[in-house]
Amino acid sequence: MAASAGRIGFIGLGMMGLPMARSLIARGFRVLACDTADAARVALAEGSADGVATFAESPAAVAAGADVIVLMLPNSRIIASVMEGPDGLLGALRPGMLVIDMSSSEPAETRRLAALAAARGAAMVDAPVSGSVTKAKAGTLAIMVGGDNTAFAQAEPVLKGMGEAIIRTGDVGSAHAMKALNNFVYAAGLLATAEALRMGEALGVDLGILTDVMNASSGRNIATETKARQEIINGRYAGGFQLGLMRKDLDVAGSIAEATGIESPSLALCRTLWKDAVERFGPGVDNTEIHRFLGSRTPG
């Protein structure tokens, strides 16, 4: 695949986007990137052979130089701006092109933009990722993909340049929905774990043994397995996923609850606590700091 790989457009060289673009380069792809940050462009070019990492000044210029374009941006509002704004992608799309939205976007907005791309003869799939920056660097992300068979076949070789587990989820928009719902369930498990550890601490029990008990029993979840001992008990708080990103995913899940009319009191609680935690600590701290936030709320 690497020898015949073409140029992939890549818009968004942030915390996850930069290592994902580097992973593509490591697997033989050439990347035509676009990002507003000079430091991100320098970081992508550093260590790359001449001509492997090139740069465009606008999304439209990316579309002019690549048939497959990856978007890794903060939210649906910015995705819409990149697609529909001045020098945006939409007006430059050609028949047969593919846009891969790997951001954590709102499903309804994804479907709207996919319809606009289809009207120009292009396709759009949603392909959000699960995994930390470490997995992005290693190219071992889990990637959910929503889209039809033709678009998936076009996207799959590119996605395999960044991920290990590629999971088809259904029609376009379904992957963004499943990513948000998955992260809600993770947040609920992390919240319960953090609360249990706080109560255990107040009781004076051994938190390491409490973690062992949960992991050997029905309370086991990804937070007890990979966050309790590794990030929370030792106070490291460096799991690799920002507090603000978790809040954003919870808000997307909230939009799904509203659209479906499903009451979700546990989701509402998570949204409130993560909103308050972001206001207290800022969006850039690690998501596991929800444990520290709970401690700051405890009297005495």
Domain assignments of the chain as residue spans, ordered by start = 2-170, 177-297
Q: Print burial letters for 277-288: b (CB count within 10 Å at least 16), e (below 16).
A: bbeebeeebbbb
Matching CATH topology for 2-170 and 177-297? Answer: no
Per-residue pLDDT of the chain (300 residues; tens, 9 = 90+): 333 347 999 999 998 999 999 999 999 999 999 998 989 989 998 878 888 999 999 999 999 999 999 999 999 999 999 999 999 999 999 999 999 999 989 999 999 999 999 999 999 999 999 888 889 999 999 999 999 999 999 999 999 999 999 999 999 999 999 999 999 999 999 999 999 999 999 999 999 999 999 999 999 999 999 999 999 999 999 998 899 999 999 999 999 999 999 999 999 999 999 999 999 999 999 999 999 999 998 665
Contact by Cβ (8 Å): 272, 292: no
Contact by Cβ (8 Å): 95, 39: no
| φ/ψ (deg, to 5) at 181 | -70, -40
Which pLDDT score, from 0 to 100, does residue 1 have? Answer: 35
C-alpha dist (Å) from residue 258 to 128, 173, 187, 250, 264: 21, 16, 19, 12, 9
Q: Where does 2-170 sit in CATH, by number?
A: 3.40.50.720
Q: Alpha-carbon distance 128 to 211, whole Å?
A: 30
Cα torsion 226, 228, 234, 240 to 10°: value is 50
Query: Strands 141-146 and 129-130: what pairing?
Result: antiparallel
Other Cβ atoms less than 10 A from the Cβ of 214: the count is 21
Residues with catalytic roles? 179
Identity of the residue numbered 10: F
Which pLDDT score, from 0 to 100, does residue 131 have? Answer: 84
| φ/ψ (deg, to 5) at 258 | -65, -40
* Domain spanning 177-297: CATH superfamily: N-(1-d-carboxylethyl)-l-norvaline Dehydrogenase; domain 2 (1.10.1040.10)
Residue 47 zone, left/alpha/beta (φ > 0; ψ -120 to 50; rest): left
Report which of 163, 167, 88, 159 is spatially closest to residue 122, judged by C-alpha positions.
88
CB neighbours of 270 closer than 8 A, spacing ≥ 6? 184, 187, 188, 191, 250
Composition of the chain by helix, strand, coil, percent to 5: 55, 15, 30
